[in-house]
Amino acid sequence: MKRQKGRFGEYGGQYVPETLMGALGELEDAYNTFRDDAGFKDELDTYLREYAGRPSRLYFAENMTRELGGARVYLKREDLNHTGSHKLNNVLGQALLARRMGKTRVIAETGAGQHGVAAATVAALLGMECEIFMGREDTRRQALNVYRMKMLGAGVREVCSGTMTLKDAVNETMREWTRRVSDTHYILGSVMGPHPFPTMVRDFQSVIGREAREQILEREGRLPAAVIACVGGGSNAIGAFYNFIGDVDVRLIGCEAAGRGLDTSEHAATIARGRVGVFHGMKSYFCQDGAGQIAPVYSISAGLDYPGIGPEHSHLHDVGRAEYVPVTDDEAVDAFYWLSRVEGIIPAIESAHAVAYARRLAGGLGTGENIIICLSGRGDKDVAAIARYMGEDIHDE
């Protein structure tokens, strides 16, 4: 009987070239060894607390709540982590694991640059060599983050193949991993790719929901009506959802990038418009054409501009435990400005997708209820791109 590893229903698996299978096996063994190891857990907890600044706050957004006139709105402030997003949770876990595996070099893909910055940061901290692969289109959209990564000592490789965005950065990072697998660990940035990444990354990100669940019970004495997060690959979403999956009355809502609209070809709404396929090491939903060619996708948000979604999300969708809703560029930009002005919090354009949906949802809920929005990152990186979207050039490049 062959192994069927890392499955969420029919999704997941290990669809990668044979050259990588040995490394995935090693990684799985190491993860299984260390995930319950007291020394490893203590080391990770210490870095999460002292370096990342966890636990992140669950902030009661009073002004938002008042404006929306329904459920009490809470923001899980992953934007306040060191490096400005939830990505650090996963990077710390994987880099510490890689170090224990004897790896001296880490590589990573990045879209918006948040994961790349987190990886470059932790590589600097742990004294590891680091190379980040980023689509050329994204290096243009996120020039500030490119410079941050370089300041941190990482090499940044511009990827000029395909659509020159996150998908192509993943392709190139996988190719690089097959070239140099013995001393190198690939810090995959989302709950995607081949097993064990979707499980391991989810475990490292589940600190978000674990904290949020405790915090909301302490503050409100009841569970939220909904937990809302943006979804590209889906790591902040699964991290926020995971500890609520057993709480069947809590709606879990993932917000996909609908770009210029679902009726156009310019979106990245995988659940809404994709179908099942096999790509980037996993069986899951993908935006693709009728012949199984992966579709060029689009979102204003580089972090959501990805044609697939993590396999656990596909499963949660199929079994009806989570809902996935489309949010357009326009709605996200509007929410970006709105949150900035109402609460004095500039969200990442990715996270603004979740804020946008919460605006639709909150008013229809009772004032005794509450909702949690995972504010996965801060928006400083997006200021220049939003200005461009509004037709202004503030010379970021």
Partner 1 sequence: MSKISDAFRGKKAFVAYIMAGDPSLEKTREYVIALQRAGADVIELGIPFSDPIAEGETIQAANLRAFASGTDIEGIFDMVSSLKGEIGVPLLFMTYLNPVFSYGYGAFFKRCAECGISGVIIPDLPFDESGEVTGYTAANGIELISLIAPTSRERIAHIAKQAEGFVYLVSSLGVTGARSEITTDIAALVASVREHTDIPIAVGFGVHSPQQVARIWESADGVIVGSAIVSVIVERGDAAGPFIGEYVRALTAAKRLQTK
List, in sequence order, the alpha helices (H) in the chain: 18-34, 38-47, 62-68, 87-100, 114-126, 136-141, 143-151, 166-179, 197-205, 207-220, 235-241, 270-273, 311-318, 329-343, 349-362, 383-389
Structure tokens at 374: 């995972």
> Does residue 167 interact with partner 1 by CB under 8 A?
yes
> Does residue 287 interact with partner 1 by CB under 8 A?
no
> Does residue 108 interact with partner 1 by CB under 8 A?
no
> Is 62 an annotated catalytic residue?
no
Active-site hit among 109, 172, 211, 312:
109
> Does residue 162 interact with partner 1 by CB under 8 A?
yes
> Are the beta carbons of 370 and 215 closer than 8 angstroms?
no
Q: Do strands 105-110 and 11-15 pair parallel, antiparallel, or not at all (unpaired)? A: unpaired
> Does residue 181 interact with partner 1 by CB under 8 A?
yes
Q: Which of 292, 363, 364, 368 binds partner 1 (CB under 8 A)?
A: 292
> Is 331 an annotated catalytic residue?
no
> Are the beta carbons of 69 and 53 closer than 8 angstroms?
no
Options 32-40, 243-251, 291-299, 331-339: segment touching partner 1 (CB under 8 A): 291-299
> Does residue 190 interact with partner 1 by CB under 8 A?
no
DSSP string, 236-283: HHHHHHGGGTT-TTSEEEEEEEEET-TTSS--B-HHHH-EEEEETEEE
The distance of closest approach from Cβ of residue 347 to partner 1 in the complex, given in angstroms and rounded to an integer, is 31
> Does residue 21 interact with partner 1 by CB under 8 A?
yes
Residue partners of 136: CB distance under 8 A and separation at least 6: 158, 159, 160, 164
> Is 265 an annotated catalytic residue?
no
The distance of closest approach from Cβ of residue 18 to partner 1 in the complex, given in angstroms and rounded to an integer, is 4
> Does residue 174 interact with partner 1 by CB under 8 A?
yes
Cβ proximity to partner 1, 6 vs 224, nearer residue: 6
> Does residue 196 interact with partner 1 by CB under 8 A?
no
Q: In what order do the strands lie in the sheet with 155-159?
A: 155-159, 129-135, 105-110, 184-186
Options 3-11, 31-39, 114-122, 242-250: segment touching partner 1 (CB under 8 A): 3-11
> Are the beta carbons of 389 and 357 closer than 8 angstroms?
no
> Does residue 18 interact with partner 1 by CB under 8 A?
yes
> Does residue 2 interact with partner 1 by CB under 8 A?
yes
Binding stretches for partner 1 (CB under 8 A) = 2-5, 13-23, 25, 161-162, 167-168, 171, 174-175, 178-181, 276-281, 286, 288, 290-294
